[in-house]
Amino acid sequence: MKRVVFNQKGGVGKSTITCNLAAISAAHGRRTLVIDLDPQGNSTQYLLGADVSAPGPTLADLFDQTLQFKLVTKKTGEFARETQFENLSVLASHPSLVELAVKLESRHKIYKLREALDEIQDEFDAIYIDTPPALNFFTLSALIAADTCLIPFDCDEFARRALYTLLENVAEIRADHNPGLEVEGIVINQFQPRANLPQKLVKELIAEGLPVLSSCLSSSVKVKESHEQALPLIHMAPRHKLTQEYEALYKELERATRKSKGGSTGRTPKKWVPV
């Protein structure tokens, strides 16, 4: 399963959701890979911690290889770095991805990530892809390569307006490049159940037929502590409420994945139709 976590709005928790779901996947014994396509490298820092500055291959090296005309090339799996967590590896980000995007786009390399992931489909049971907060070359590459798209939503009116454009973009990519791509669900993040506005927005999204997942993620200072210690919540605070919410989200996604093998995931919006 190749899952991309995508939202064009920044600060909605893409990296945090990517890494914590991946860490839970690995803790359940699944060979899991995180791909950090954001040049800021938040997922890379989160998973590698102090080791982030140690010499090692990066995603930039993999993409740079696609621009070279060499008879002998390294396989995709050789660019992955092991983390301190069992079963969890990362294709690390690098600031040079910004410059590489221009070269890759000019050379029409938009399908190279999909080809690279096809090469390692037997090496990993689950692949989580973190994306930049923009619909750029790397985000488009991820959506073309992925099976499903997970959309974080932070209960903000501006985020809601952007959500419709985002869904239209996904529908267009599905039609033009990746007919198998499904919107797996909208993850309500930083949810405050006692506040009126978040409850109102979530109810309205559900009423519109959008695929809102039932597992919400609360707002908690534990997230910042987790970032600081470079420890996903399952390893830092396994009994914390937010960790249990991530576990519930992971199980909900797994149930939907198993169901999809016998047909539709049921995650396609029923009322809302992109124009």
Distance of alpha carbon 236 from alpha carbon 129, whole angstroms:
22
Question: Is residue 270 one of the residues assigned to a domain?
Answer: no
Q: Which residues contact 155 (CB under 8 A, 6 or more apart)?
A: 188, 189, 190, 191, 192, 197, 198, 201, 202
- The answer to whether 261 and 273 have CB atoms below 8 angstroms apart is no
pLDDT at 262: 62
Per-residue pLDDT tens, the chain, 275 aa: give them. 999 999 988 889 999 999 999 999 999 999 999 999 999 999 999 999 999 999 999 999 999 999 987 666 899 999 999 999 999 999 999 999 999 999 999 999 999 999 999 999 999 999 999 999 999 999 999 999 999 999 999 888 888 888 999 999 999 999 999 999 999 999 999 888 778 888 899 999 999 999 999 999 999 999 999 999 999 999 999 999 999 999 999 999 999 888 877 654 434 444 444 43
Question: Is residue 222 one of the residues assigned to a domain?
Answer: yes
Question: Is residue 37 one of the residues assigned to a domain?
Answer: yes
Question: Is residue 273 one of the residues assigned to a domain?
Answer: no
CATH number at residue 20: 3.40.50.300
Question: Is residue 275 one of the residues assigned to a domain?
Answer: no
Distance of alpha carbon 101 from alpha carbon 31, whole angstroms:
29
Question: Is residue 266 one of the residues assigned to a domain?
Answer: no
Q: What does the radius of gyration of the chain's CA atoms come to, in whole angstroms?
A: 18
| Global model pTM greater than 0.95 | no
pLDDT at 69: 74
User: In terms of residue numbers, what domain contains 45?
Assistant: 2-260
Distance of alpha carbon 16 from alpha carbon 7, whole angstroms:
13
Query: How many domains in the chain?
Result: 1
- The answer to whether 83 and 90 have CB atoms below 8 angstroms apart is yes
Q: Which residues contact 29 (CB under 8 A, 6 or more apart)?
A: 87
Distance of alpha carbon 86 from alpha carbon 84, whole angstroms:
7
Question: Is residue 218 one of the residues assigned to a domain?
Answer: yes
pLDDT at 267: 45
Question: Is residue 174 one of the residues assigned to a domain?
Answer: yes
Q: Which two tokens stand for residue 18?
A: 């990517």
